[in-house]
């Protein structure tokens, strides 16, 4: 339920910056989700029976052994694990992120873009900022309600049935409430996209996309929460299997995403035989990246934006270009794909997935640590109480909002490395600059994002920054500066 800004390309390694809302969460990677995994870890003698009173399955009063001292000892243990895992994540991210890719001069939009182009980008940014920030504000307010008041428990208290039915229904109900509130903002945003010619969807297909997105989101969330509650009902130190499960589930989701979920939104076809395909595959071969195919997504039925991305890893890895991109000159398409090959060669998706999975494990432990405080405020009895679903969803929203800026910071550096790879591979900074201009103008990218936007939403360096880097590369390599 956390809202990324609709213009943001949330795909794993998507690159055109702007994309329509339909392109939103391609891989729900760093949601602090909670896991699967059965409760095999029988904990130090404190084995809690299923505590069902009456046919309604409400947890009576939390755990029998949940007296103050025992519980705080458990929480202390989890807290230590949380700090240690946090340090591991910071160390892994710190050492594997390419912090200094290539020193380049300051970005200078006026050098490459006309006054009219700059004005149009500013106007688009101004128009979309309001619904974006309103959506963010509503998301925060709603998550706050779920975490700090009995609102969620009251709503979900009306649901009937066994615990697992109520957990699933709880996810659906909370998702539906959030979406009902945000729906008008989505319509507003889509209207702006259409005004600017970025979206060419009709309302039927827009609604279909949005509902499919929500369905996928709610489905994944329900799987996580069912597993979490099942664990917590059996194991007292449920944070241990939950952390392992969150890790496994995140990796598995990222792996299957391209083959299970992406086809819900787009049709993918093999790139047509011809000189472009031949050149791209030859370039991949020269690069030492085994690529059997470049897939084309039928993005043009909803957007005019240009994009390409890599998703999956191992057997599911794929390089996808939007069909909208194929109208660009062939050399520019080659440069886009050269960038994607950089992601493939550096295993950016796998790396991002592993860091995200560690983040998910962290989230599972954090949930254990903070849930005591949340429980008191929300009036739920324990995490096994199906009415707690709202509070958990609220916490996950805050988790992903807090992690977003860190995720973007890492992503921008990884994107810069992929740009450098494209330049090294093609040795063609002039086409690189031409391609960046085309992407920025077509997608109406923000040419000089302010600090807040940059921190909150920018998964890529800005186009002027990317162009500045290409010029530095040219200078460094004795190639005429474009
Ligand atoms: Zn990229």
Calculate ∠ Cα 145-146-151, nearest 5°.
75
Q: Is the pLDDT of residue 475 over 50?
A: yes
Q: Measured in angstroms, how far is the CA atom of residue 57 from the centroid of ligand 1?
A: 48
Q: Would 202 be classed as within a structural domain?
A: yes
The alpha carbon of 424 and the centre of ligand 1 are apart by a number of angstroms equal to 15
Kindly give the distance from the C-alpha atom of residue 283 to the centroid of ligand 1, in angstroms, as a whole number: 17
Q: Which of 473, 383, 377 is nearest to 429 (CA)?
A: 473
Say how many Å lie between the CA of residue 309 and the centre of ligand 1.
Answer: 7
Where does residue 314 fall: left (phi above 0), alpha (psi -120 to 50 degrees), or beta otherwise?
left
pLDDT digits (tens, 9 = 90+) for 271-325: 999 999 999 999 999 999 988 899 999 999 999 999 999 999 999 999 999 999 9
Residue 210 has pLDDT above 50, yes or no: yes
Burial of 106 (0-12, 13-18, 19+ CB in 10 A): exposed
Indicate the pTM of the whole model: 0.86
Burial class of residue 180 (count of CB atoms within 10 Å of its CB; 0-12, 13-18, 19+) = exposed
| Separation of CA 184 and ligand 1 centre (Å) | 31
C-alpha of residue 231 to centroid of ligand 1, in Å: 38
Q: What is the tens place of the pLDDT at every residue in 338-388?
A: 999 999 999 999 999 999 999 999 999 999 999 999 999 999 999 999 999
C-alpha 416 – ligand 1 centre gap (Å) = 8
pLDDT computed for residue 45 by the predictor: 31
Between the CA of 139 and the centroid of ligand 1 the distance, in Å, is 28
Q: Is residue 327 part of a domain?
A: yes
Over the stretch 110-154, which tens digit does the pLDDT of each residue have? 999 999 999 999 999 999 999 999 999 999 999 999 999 999 999
Task: Please give the mean pLDDT across all residues of the chain.
Answer: 88
Q: How far is the CA of 9 from the centre of ligand 1 (A)?
A: 10
Q: How far is the CA of 411 from the centre of ligand 1 (A)?
A: 9
- How many whole angstroms from 343 Cα to the centroid of ligand 1? 7
Ligand 1 centre and the CA of 53: distance in Å? 53
Average pLDDT over residues 36-64: 33
Q: Which domain holds residue 131?
A: 4-49+71-476
Q: What pLDDT, on the 0 to 100 scale, is given for residue 68?
A: 58
Q: Place 70 in a pLDDT band, splitting at 50, 70 and 90.
A: confident
Alpha carbon distance 16, 18 (integer Å): 6
What's the rounded mean pLDDT across residues 171-191?
97
pLDDT tens for each residue of 72-124 = 899 999 999 999 999 999 999 999 999 989 999 999 999 999 999 999 999 99
Residue 55 lies in a domain: no
Provide the pairing of β-strand 268-270 with 294-297: antiparallel
- CA–centroid distance, 341 to ligand 1, in Å, is 9
Q: What is the mean pLDDT of residues 173-189?
A: 96
Question: Is 472 a domain residue?
Answer: yes
Measure 414 CA to ligand 1 centroid, in angstroms: 8
**Residue 232 resides in a domain:** yes
Residue 292: predicted pLDDT: 84
Distance 415 CA to ligand 1 centre (A): 5
pLDDT band, residue 5 (cuts 50/70/90): very low
Average confidence (pLDDT) over 13-39: 35
Q: How far apart are the CA of 136 and the centre of ligand 1, in A? A: 25
* Domain annotation covers residue 274: yes
**CA of 293 relative to ligand 1 center, distance in Å:** 18
What's the 78 CA to ligand 1 centre distance in angstroms?
36
- Tell me the CA–centroid distance for residue 288 and ligand 1, in Å: 18
Q: Is the pLDDT of residue 60 over 50?
A: no
Distance 115 CA to ligand 1 centre (A): 27
CA of 325 to the centre of ligand 1 (A): 15
* CA of 268 relative to ligand 1 center, distance in Å: 19
d(CA 34, CA 174): 17
The C-alpha atoms of residue 436 and residue 418 are separated, in whole angstroms, by 14
470 CB contacts (<8 Å, ≥6 apart)?
A: 419, 423, 429, 432, 433, 436, 482
In a domain, 56, yes or no: no
Burial degree of 282 (CB within 10 A; 0-12, 13-18, 19+): exposed
How far apart are the CA of 101 and the centre of ligand 1, in A?
14
Distance (Å, whole) CA 79 – CA 369: 6
**307 Cα to the center of ligand 1, angstroms:** 10
The predicted structure's pLDDT at residue 62: 42
Digit-coded pLDDT (tens) for 228-276: 999 999 999 999 999 999 999 999 999 999 999 999 999 999 999 999 9
Distance 199 CA to ligand 1 centre (A): 22
Ligand 1 geometric centre to CA of 421 (Å): 10
Whether 405 maps to a domain, the answer reads yes
Q: How many domains would you assign to the chain?
A: 1
Taking the centre of ligand 1 as the mean of its atom positions, its distance from the CA of residue 97, in whole angstroms, is 14
Give Cα separations from 44 to 41, 65, 73, 227 (angstroms).
Answer: 9, 12, 13, 21
Distance 27 CA to ligand 1 centre (A): 14
């Amino acid at each position: 339920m956390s809202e990324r800004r609709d213009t943001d390309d949330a795909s794993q390694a998507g690159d055109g910056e702007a994309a329509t809302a339909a392109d939103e969460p391609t891989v729900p990677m760093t949601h602090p989700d909670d896991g699967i995994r059965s409760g095999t870890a029988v904990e130090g003698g404190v084995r809690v029976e299923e505590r069902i009173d009456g046919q309604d399955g409400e947890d009576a009063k939390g755990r029998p052994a949940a007296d103050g001292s025992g519980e705080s000892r458990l929480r202390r243990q989890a807290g230590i694990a949380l700090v240690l895992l946090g340090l591991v994540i910071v160390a892994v991210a710190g050492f594997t992120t390419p912090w200094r890719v290539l020193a380049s001069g300051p970005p200078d939009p006026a050098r490459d873009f006309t006054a009219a182009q700059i004005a149009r980008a500013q106007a688009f940014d101004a128009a979309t900022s309001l619904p974006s920030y309103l959506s963010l504000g509503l998301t925060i307010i709603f998550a706050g309600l779920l975490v700090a008041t009995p609102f969620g428990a009251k709503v979900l208290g009306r649901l009937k049935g066994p615990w697992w039915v109520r957990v699933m229904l709880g996810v659906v109900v909370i998702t539906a409430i959030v979406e009902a509130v945000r729906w008008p903002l989505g319509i507003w945003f889509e209207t702006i996209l259409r005004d600017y010619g970025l979206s060419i969807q009709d309302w039927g297909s827009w609604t279909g996309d949005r509902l499919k997105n929500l369905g996928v989101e709610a489905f994944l969330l329900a799987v996580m929460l069912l597993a979490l509650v099942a664990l917590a009902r059996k194991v007292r130190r449920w944070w241990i299997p939950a952390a392992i499960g969150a890790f496994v589930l995140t990796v598995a989701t990222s792996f299957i995403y391209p083959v299970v979920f992406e086809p819900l939104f787009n049709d993918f076809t093999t790139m047509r035989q011809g000189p472009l395909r031949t050149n791209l595959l030859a370039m991949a071969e020269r690069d030492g990246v085994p690529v059997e195919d470049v897939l084309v997504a039928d993005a043009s039925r909803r957007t005019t934006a240009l994009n390409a991305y890599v998703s999956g890893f191992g057997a599911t890895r794929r390089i996808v270009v939007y069909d909208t991109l194929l109208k660009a000159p062939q050399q520019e398409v080659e440069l886009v794909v050269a960038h994607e090959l950089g992601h493939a060669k550096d295993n950016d998706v796998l790396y991002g997935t592993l860091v995200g999975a560690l983040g998910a494990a962290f989230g599972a432990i954090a949930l254990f640590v903070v849930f005591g405080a949340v429980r008191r405020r929300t009036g739920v009895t324990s995490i096994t109480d199906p009415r707690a679903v709202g509070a958990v969803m609220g916490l996950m929203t805050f988790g992903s909002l807090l992690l977003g800026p860190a995720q973007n910071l890492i992503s921008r550096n990884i994107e810069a490395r992929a740009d450098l790879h494209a330049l090294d591979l093609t040795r063609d900074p002039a086409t690189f600059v031409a391609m960046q201009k085309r992407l920025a103008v077509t997608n109406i990218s923000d040419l000089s994002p302010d600090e807040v936007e940059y921190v909150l939403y920018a998964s890529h360096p800005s186009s002027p920054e990317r162009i500045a880097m290409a010029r530095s590369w040219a200078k460094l390599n004795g190639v005429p500066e474009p």
